[in-house]
Structure 1
Amino acid sequence: MAQLSRRDLMLRASALGCSIAASPLVTPISFADAPWDNRLVVIVLRGGMDGLDVVRPVGDPSFAALRPDARDGLPLDGYFELHPALAPVLPLWEAGELAFVHATSTPYRDHRSHFDGQDHLEAGFATPELGQVRDGWLNRLLQTQTGLRGDVAFSVGHGETLLLRGAAPVSNWTPEVDLMMSGPTLLLAERIMQNDPLFQATFEEAVQIAGSDGDAVMHGMAGAADVTDMEMMNPAPKGTSADKAKAQFVAQRLTADTRIASFSMNGWDSHRGQEALLSRSLARLADVLNVLRADLGPVWAKTTVLALTEFGRTVRLNGSRGTDHGTGGLMLLAGGTLAKSQVLGRWPGLSEADLYQRRDLLPTSDVRAHAAWAIRHSFGLDRDLLEQTVFPNLDLSHDLGLFA
């Protein structure tokens, strides 16, 4: 049999229509052990979630006039009510495994740009030099450790996000794209890679990742010859949304060697028709949380889930029955590591004099600080390291007591 070089294999893969840049076959990944047992999941809610509608401050005398359509809320603590679309996660609240921080935000102010707001959220910087930042706070967390392997952290979804971008090795997976190989092609690839340690390790990782959902890599199965080599497939079962597929994959990885996972959920930009849009998005979020809790099993007790958004929204509805880009927002936390279910944060009030620029909920805490305390609890990082390296110039002098 003629001998093929790595370059030959990649050229042939290109001829088959496979994107080499997206292929796990050429993703550099290094291997080592993780020093932690706890798990952290970070979900970025892209679009600016309206925290006032998600966790409703019905005890504030100004709320009813500002949000007359907020009905059927689920009581939480006598002052706040939960949006009815989150009813499926009430068991988490009752179990002490769900919490919220209200009136929180990154230091980003005034311009209310999705892109800039998300960059601030994921970079973890508060300074004007944000445009020079090339890594995210989750990756800087990984950089504080030595000898980590790529699958200690997973970025799940399309493309590379700033949150996990940086020098530390990170694995990536997208539920809509998977690697499928026929039996003969798999044997050929293994033979080509066997004498090259770098490519052999990378190839083995690709096969492991592709096969982890139980549906991707074919080892001489019947009919394999009829399947185009390196075919791009959708592994999610019928009826399973992309969000659920992400949650299922994350749970699979976290019950193995992975310790950190991050993915995004879109659909939170509610300029018009907010009632219907937010209900749909919250139902998806509830599904994700319940999938994580169910699939993680006993590992849920060691897991912290953070759901963050780039900013809140205006306190008043606009003419399209929606809300515009605001400032103070809401952070959601879930997992078996929480001290108890609670709504935290210093409530600023909703009278016009209390609002930020007389239009937005006033932020009274830094969302980065709550994320930093979650990291400190989960992985035991020193406070100085969090304040100087992971979140430069952050003040961690106040602990809200989110964790047991």
Structure 2
Amino acid sequence: MRIDRRSFIGAATLLAAPRLLMAQAMTERRFVFIIQRGAADGLNTVIPYAEARYAALRAELAIDPSAALKLNGTFALHPSLSTLHKLYAAGEATFLHAVASPYRDRSHFDAQNVLETGSQLPYQLRDGWMNRLLGMLPRSGKEAIAFAPAIPLAMQGTVEVISYAPSSLSEASEDLLMRVQQLYGSDPQLHLLWSSALAVRGMATEKMGGNSARQDSAALGRMAAGFLARGDGPRIAMIESNGWDTHSGQDARLARQLLGLDGLISGLREGLGEVWANTVVLVATEFGRTVAINGTGGTDHGTAAAAMLIGGAVQGGRVVTDWPGLAPGNLLDGRDLMPTLALDSLITATCSEAFGLDPVRTKSVLFPGAGPHKTMSRLLRGESW
């Protein structure tokens, strides 16, 4: 069900910050998908510092190994990811490298369509893999909820989703809300929509400390956690993170983006409390960036990237990769990190482990036409479903 924004008289005006969408499933596991829109640079996120060609190809963009946060003898994290580094040390984060969807061109729109629909080619499917996942889970009847100006494609489909986001404007006064309540009280449909909006607003402001406008990433993470931690709340969430296209001036821009991601995860963990032990967060992007620096202090559209699994339910403390190396003969098209791990397989394995689903059937539902499921080593801790 979509709620007409005009029905809210401005109380559900949406903010242009990372956006969340959620749904309820009868399980103790929480699953959060964070999409990095714009093609995040995996090589400067999970850094292959031990490979000599990394520094040579990245030139002034190469992260100094002395500043990087070491994971093992080969890989390190960007210095902005201090929370994720601590979670890795605690066994609650796994980083996966050389990951890619089936898409092999370099259009953001087409690549995001493939990632969100679970198709093999752009515009083959009209619904999203997350909505199809919801259809596989037992449900209590509560609708999914999107914190976004429009429901992202990954969550569109036959399972009903309503939308809400905190306002970037001043909070509506209680007098105004009461007047709208009286106005809609005699209309069965509008009264139901308005009551639903007020219930969601109350859950959000409870965690945001009143006025929810212009909150930082950690505050948004805590707000998301406020929904997910409730016994009667959603169990599945999606967060959109924009601004990862770093064609120029990448050094400072990527540092800011990663700092925001680190804060978002920190806020989620803080807000979830004990529920963090049953939480899985998957972070992925539509494609990576070129291995070599370009002429404007940035990197161009590439292919393989890095993905992350974070949470108390993650069997972490690992870097998972069939690392292809950065030698000229090992690069895709002579310029991109070669993909060696299918994002389809990663999502399938994560969702089937998280919710106790058969992986073969899960793969066929989420990624029709993708071919047989390839078994991965276990990604999560013991079941809680």
TM-score range, shorter chain: 0.7 to 0.9
Check if 1:90 corresponds to 2:85. yes
1:338-389 deviations in whole A, cap 9, x for unaligned?
1121111210110000000000000011112111111112111222331211
| Residues 133 and 366, structure 2, Cα contact 8 Å, conserved in 1 | yes
Q: Give the 3-state SS of the residue equivalent to 1:361 in structure 2.
A: coil
Distance 1:142 1:361, change over 3 A: same
- Partners of 2:162 and 2:234 in 1: how far apart? 10
- Partners of 1:75 and 1:185 in 2: how far apart? 52
Give the TM-score normalised by structure 2. 0.85
Distance 1:33 1:150, change over 3 A: closer
Q: Counterpart in 2 of 1:289? A: 265
1:125 partner letter: S
1:273-312 equivalent positions in 2, closer than 5 A? 273-312=249-288
Q: Counterpart in 2 of 1:112? A: 106
Q: Give the 3-state SS of the residue equivalent to 2:273 in structure 1.
A: helix
- Partners of 2:180 and 2:254 in 1: how far apart? 49
- Partners of 1:393 and 1:125 in 2: how far apart? 7
| Residues 98 and 334, structure 1, Cα contact 8 Å, conserved in 2 | yes
- The counterpart of 1:171, out of the listed 158, 162, 173, is 162
| Residues 106 and 368, structure 1, Cα contact 8 Å, conserved in 2 | yes
Q: Counterpart in 1 of 2:29? A: 38
| Residues 155 and 263, structure 1, Cα contact 8 Å, conserved in 2 | no
Question: How far has the Cα of 1:64 moved from its partner?
Answer: 2.3
| Residues 150 and 170, structure 1, Cα contact 8 Å, conserved in 2 | no
Check if 1:133 corresponds to 2:125. yes
Check if 1:402 corresponds to 2:382. no
1:87 partner letter: S
Q: Counterpart in 1 of 2:366? A: 390
Distance 1:37 1:171, change over 3 A: farther
- Partners of 2:243 and 2:308 in 1: how far apart? 16
- The counterpart of 2:220, out of the listed 219, 228, 246, is 246
Q: Counterpart in 2 of 1:27? A: none
Q: Percent identity?
A: 35
- Partners of 2:243 and 2:95 in 1: how far apart? 20
- Partners of 1:370 and 1:36 in 2: how far apart? 21
Question: How far has the Cα of 1:245 moved from its partner?
Answer: 4.1
After superposition, the CA RMSD in angstroms is 2.8
1:78-105 deviations in whole A, cap 9, x for unaligned?
1101111112332211111111110000
Q: Counterpart in 2 of 1:180? A: 172
Q: Counterpart in 2 of 1:259? A: 235
1:70 partner letter: I
Question: How far has the Cα of 1:143 moved from its partner?
Answer: 1.8
Distance 1:89 1:354, change over 3 A: same
Gaps of 5+ in 2: 15-22
- Partners of 1:76 and 1:300 in 2: how far apart? 22
Q: Give the 3-state SS of the residue equivalent to 2:96 in structure 1.
A: strand
- Partners of 1:337 and 1:119 in 2: how far apart? 29
Gaps of 5+ in 1: 1-9, 24-31, 217-233
| Residues 387 and 393, structure 1, Cα contact 8 Å, conserved in 2 | no
1:2-401 equivalent positions in 2, closer than 5 A? 18=9, 34-68=25-59, 69-71=62-64, 72-109=67-104, 111-126=105-120, 128=121, 130-145=122-137, 147-151=139-143, 153-176=144-167, 180=172, 182-183=174-175, 185-186=177-178, 189=181, 192-193=184-185, 196=188, 199-214=190-205, 235-236=211-212, 240-241=215-216, 243-256=217-230, 257-394=233-370, 395-401=372-378
Larger Rg: 1
1:208-247 deviations in whole A, cap 9, x for unaligned?
111113379xxxxxxxxxxxxxxxxx93267x32x33432
1:118-142 deviations in whole A, cap 9, x for unaligned?
111111111x3x4242111100111
Question: How far has the Cα of 1:289 moved from its partner?
Answer: 0.6
Question: How far has the Cα of 1:252 moved from its partner?
Answer: 0.6
Give the TM-score normalised by structure 1. 0.81
1:108-159 deviations in whole A, cap 9, x for unaligned?
00x2011111111111111x3x4242111100111224655444x4333332
Q: Counterpart in 1 of 2:20? A: none
